[in-house]
Chain A
Amino acid sequence: MNFLSFFVSRLGKALVVVLGVVIINFFLIRLAPGDPATVMAGEAGAGDAAYVAQLREEFGLDKPVVTQLGIYLKGVAHLDLGYSYRNHLPVLDLILDRLPATFLLMSGAFVFSIVLGVLLGVIAARTRYENRRRWIDSAVMSGALLLYATPLFWLSLMAIILFSVVLGWLPAFGMESVGAGYTGLARAQDIALHMVLPTVSLGCFFMAVYVRLTRASMLEVMGMDFVKTARAKGVPARRVIRVHVLRNALLPVITFAGIQLGQMAGGAVLTETVFSWPGIGRLMFDALLQRDYQLLLGIFFVTSALVVVFNLATDILYRFIDPRIAVGGREAAA
């Protein structure tokens, strides 16, 4: 399959998923207990009878379901994700306002988890394979096992207790020091300091995932025939690992990274809540407290769309990296 055909089909799939999320949102509101209009108005807006009536008309709640769906889809296509009564702002504006903070947090955590995860996974696999200092392998794997079993929000709390309350090294809440009025480089430093705890605690769980995956992938590749061929050529061990093993072992890790991002989005909700980080995760928590369902569903939609886009990007990246697919080839039987 050549690239254009591949891209179009992947894009099509992505759009279908996004459409599916929208349809799920639509049906969730209608399946919820109670009158859909009241549900959409949220706890705050439900008291305002005029507002509820306005919603009823806007979404055509007295019309047949199919028409309602049409109206809803048209709204989403125009990027109208609804209105948050409690916050007196359209949902889209609220989300866009908070999105950068979440991007910052998630990119930081993503980089942290992949870099450290792959590094530790490679080290663990090497020591196990070479049969020297195997305690390193055991230590890394035990650490990964422990982190993998730790609830993310609890780890964040423990981190706050240790580094903020007891030791006082790092700030516990928020993205910036309130009221300090930093600008420029000072501001960047301030944000960076605030970023440390949230990024590391969000990244730790996923780092454990990458450690295990990388190690398993490396060990599998190390057992393959072409590694034996390389050794028979007299290639020294370090080069074997770097040039032969790593390049092949990292391929599944890349695929996995796309899938992990969806989980990380969920993790961000928890982390932002604990650290009061001003991103859309925290916004989702607030929406829960306020029973603001339009906001909630809007955030769900945006998160899903972002994950889908990122998956598409990873798929395309993978295609370029794996020569078996990149050159558009299949096994030639000459």
Chain B
Amino acid sequence: MNAQTMSERDPMSIIHAQPLLSIRDLSIALPAGGDRPHAVRNISYDLHAGEILCIVGESGSGKSMSANAIMGLLPSYLKPERGQILFRGQDLLALDEATLLGMRGKDIAMVFQEPLSALNPVMTIGDQIGEVMRVHREYPGEARARRVLELLEFVGLPDPATIVHSYPFRLSGGQRQRVVIAMALALEPALLIADEPTTALDVTTQAQILALIRRIQAEKGMGVMFVTHDFGVVAEIADRVAVMEKGVLVELGDAEQVLNDPRHPYTRRLIGAVPHGRAREGGRADDRTVLEVRNLRKTYASGGGLFAKKRVTHAVDDVSFRVRRGETLGIVGESGSGKSTIGKCLLKLTNVDGGEILFDGHDLARLSERQFRPMRRAVQMIFQDPFASLNPRHTVGRIISDGPVASGVPRETADVRTRELLELVGLEASAFDRYPNQFSGGQRQRIGIARALALEPRVLVADESVSALDVSVQAQVLALLADLQQRLDIALIFITHDLRVAAQICHEVIVMHRGRVVEAGPPAQIFDAPRHDYTRRLIDAIPGKAWDPTRVPAAA
């Protein structure tokens, strides 16, 4: 658990005897009124040059705290109370701001989570990368422009000469993250801190960025600290792993050991919750089709005016599939694939531009809102954002009862049913009179599920319903959904970007790319024998494929 064990085993440490970075007993206090007194308490770990250390934890674990403390970027109300941050032997917490300023960007660099907001929107890319060199007075004159082009090429951006003069809004999320990485590398820092840099990116883009970071680290010999919540990413790139729970470091060791033979029960529980992509056992007995979609089409037109042409996007382009009673169909795709749009079309939250949605003998696409409303009970939705999907001013009981009341059930009857539902989804009866902001993300999703079930639907659409949840909570909600589906014999359409999750709970999966269905079939077939090129790319991009989390004995 500490540096001594490390030096016994690692031959490299003979050359780099002193760790590049050494955190010793760091504690950062939270202001009064928080859910615990310390953001992080007594954490200690080392990072050596040439290795990648992954700090992994759920939300609220404090995993980003030490990273921000190293850079001196903690908000003013969070001050390190105790401990040392030794970088090349110097305690960063004891240095003055001027010295630290000289080190930031030059000796230690950082990459953040949100690429879309990480760049100044009114400065060109070239100027922003050049700024690092400018403030540290490196690469004067023409050398600077050359260095900028060199960096852009190194991070794999196409056409660097044009990008240098572009503004950030022209680049995609993945491209912007590459720019941020280029900025971080400009002065060849010894330590690179990456705080969830791929969390906001698509899985294929994430794979490319992870490969880039690995390449950089191998070529430049930097020490990399990588904060993440995703064990797959850890399996993909980590040399060593530190696991954090509620501000405390619970496990620290080599990646091999932590991933395959974790010692702390929390680590074991986390790994147990990781979706393993192992296909679901057993099929379903029923063969009756509940919902069938044929040649669905939805286009968006944007821009245009007196002198410009309109731009047309085919969000959903000739999509067909069917769902059977008691079956879970997964719709998998990256952002822009059209998967969420399909969900909105099925619920008639948006107009359909072509095709048919056949349900119960009606074509839902043809119906007007007024005609459809009485049928709405049968098709319900569970939304993505647990914090925005519940009206903050209504009590939980009212939120759930509103559905039946809207279709004519008297409030008292609906309330009785609501209490039953609360029990069904695993919430206490007292939740009835409380407000959403008193519940956690996972609990709010359960409320959302109860709301959907209150109408006794036959089809349930879950639009990225677990994407915003921590992995352990996610596992619980998925288990709940599977259980409910079996008991109530509902058809479930599960929309997600995570192929592993889909593989775990779906009977059938369709893969979407740019509005079209590129592949369909049971998860085992898609994983073992993908037919389409894009599906192959998608599967290859899954981080940590080589690692099998199910080999770890689950926590008691």
Contacts and interface: CB of A to CB of B under 8 A. Distances in A.
A233 B104 contact: yes
B76 interface: yes
Nearest to B110: A232
Interface string B297-309: 0000011011110
Nearest to B100: A234
B71 interface: yes
B336 interface: yes
B132 interface: yes
Given A225-B117, A226-B120, A229-B180, A235 B135 contact: yes
A178 interface: no
Contacts of A6: 305
Contacts of A251: 122
Contact of B306 (A5, A234, A244, A329): A5
A333 B337 CA distance: 12
- How big is the B interface, by class? 35 or more
A330 interface: yes
B306 A232 contact: no
Nearest to B124: A323
Contacts of A230: 120, 131
A164 interface: no
B169 interface: yes
A334 B171 contact: yes
A234 B121 contact: no
B393 interface: no
Contact of B101 (A1, A224, A236, A247): A236
Interface string A1-35: 11011101100000000000000000000000000
B168 to A, nearest CB: 9
A237 to B, nearest CB: 9
A327 B166 CA distance: 10
A66 interface: no
B460 to A, nearest CB: 30
A234 B104 contact: yes
A133 interface: no
A231 B104 contact: yes
A324 B168 CA distance: 9
A242 interface: no
B73 interface: yes
A248 interface: yes
Given A2-B308, A332-B172, A229 B135 contact: no
Interface string B100-130: 0111111001101010011111110000000
B131 to A, nearest CB: 6
A291 B252 CA distance: 87
B73 A244 contact: no
A233 B120 CA distance: 13
Interface in A259-316: none
Contact of B167 (A232, A234, A327): A327
Contact of A334 (B119, B120, B172): B172
Contacts of B169: 323-324, 329-332
B114 A1 contact: no
A251 B131 CA distance: 22
A251 B170 CA distance: 19
A74 interface: no
B476 to A, nearest CB: 32
Nearest to B158: A334
Given A333-B172, A334-B175, A5 B120 contact: no
Nearest to B173: A333
Contact of A226 (B73, B121, B171, B302): B121
A187 interface: no
Given A2-B308, A234-B136, A235-B135, A229 B118 contact: yes
Given A9-B306, A329-B169, A332-B170, A228 B103 contact: no
Given A324-B121, A334-B172, A235 B131 contact: yes
Given A9-B305, A232-B104, A234-B103, A225 B336 contact: no
Interface of A: 1-2, 4-6, 8-9, 131, 224-226, 228-236, 239, 243-244, 247-248, 251, 322-324, 327, 329-334
Given A226-B121, A230-B131, 6 more contacts: A2-B307, A9-B306, A228-B73, A234-B102, A251-B122, A332-B172
25 contacts: A2-B307, A4-B307, A6-B305, A131-B76, A225-B117, A225-B118, A228-B73, A229-B180, A230-B120, A232-B71, A232-B109, A234-B102, A234-B105, A234-B136, A235-B105, A236-B135, A243-B123, A243-B131, A247-B123, A248-B120, A248-B122, A322-B122, A327-B167, A332-B171, A333-B172
